[in-house]
């Protein structure tokens, strides 16, 4: 079973890393009141909140018809819905403020790229699996397959994307089975 406290600790480490890499003053903290909807399922998720204070509740809809849901809570010190960094498809998620919120909204592109042009994702397989709603063994098999194909490089706690263009929707749909 997934250890939620380990996932939260890893998320907080990621936030600390992001804060040291980005000029956070470019993304002023914004307030939102409890009960406010931040994002609706089906809308493009282009920015992710780094939560300074408060709490966000997320409902992630999975499956072709969105009939399977996963409730997720994000707290102060965390980056909400980091799994959006791994998808080019529209993510079906509702985000709502559970406790008065103060958060920096960072464009996904800022989180995905580095000044040296490398695309690094700081997360363990277990963390990625939990946030993506799949089992760790299944995720690990898929990541290994992507590494063998030259699209990713797997390091301890880090996934480096070697060929970002290969993850666009048009290229993915043409991929051979």
Domains and CATH numbers, the chain: 4-112 (2.60.120.10), 119-173 (1.10.10.10)
Is 105 in a helix, a strand, or coil?
strand
- Residues 98 and 55: beta-carbon distance below 8 Å: yes
- Residue for token pair 């464009």: 107
CA neighbours within 13 Å on the CB side: how many for 137?
1
- Is the pTM higher than 0.85? The answer reads no
Quick check: helix, strand or coil at residue 122? strand
- In sequence order, what are the beta bridge partners of 60? 70, 93
* C-alpha gyration radius of the chain: 16
Confidence of residue 103 (pLDDT cuts 50, 70, 90): very high
Mean confidence (pLDDT) of the chain: 80
User: Residues 10-58: pLDDT tens digits?
Assistant: 788 888 878 877 888 999 999 999 999 999 887 888 889 999 999 999 8
Which residues, in sequence order, are bridge partners of residue 28?
none
């Amino acid at each position: 079973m997934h250890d939620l406290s380990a996932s939260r600790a890893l998320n907080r480490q990621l936030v600390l890393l992001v804060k040291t890499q980005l000029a956070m003053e470019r993304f002023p903290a914004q307030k939102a009141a409890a009960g406010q909807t931040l994002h609706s399922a089906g809308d493009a998720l282009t920015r992710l909140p780094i939560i300074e204070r408060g709490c966000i509740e997320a409902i992630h809809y999975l499956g072709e018809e969105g009939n399977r849901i996963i409730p997720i809570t994000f707290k102060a010190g965390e980056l909400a819905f980091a799994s959006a960094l791994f998808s080019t498809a529209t993510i079906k998620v509702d985000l709502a403020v559970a406790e008065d919120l103060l958060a920096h909204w960072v464009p996904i592109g800022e989180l995905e790229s580095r000044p040296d042009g490398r695309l690094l994702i700081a997360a363990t397989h277990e963390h990625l699996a939990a946030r993506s709603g799949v089992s760790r063994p299944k995720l690990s098999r898929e990541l290994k397959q992507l590494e063998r194909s030259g699209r990713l490089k797997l390091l301890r706690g880090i996934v480096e994307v070697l060929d970002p263009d290969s993850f666009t929707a048009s290229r993915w749909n043409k991929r051979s089975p």
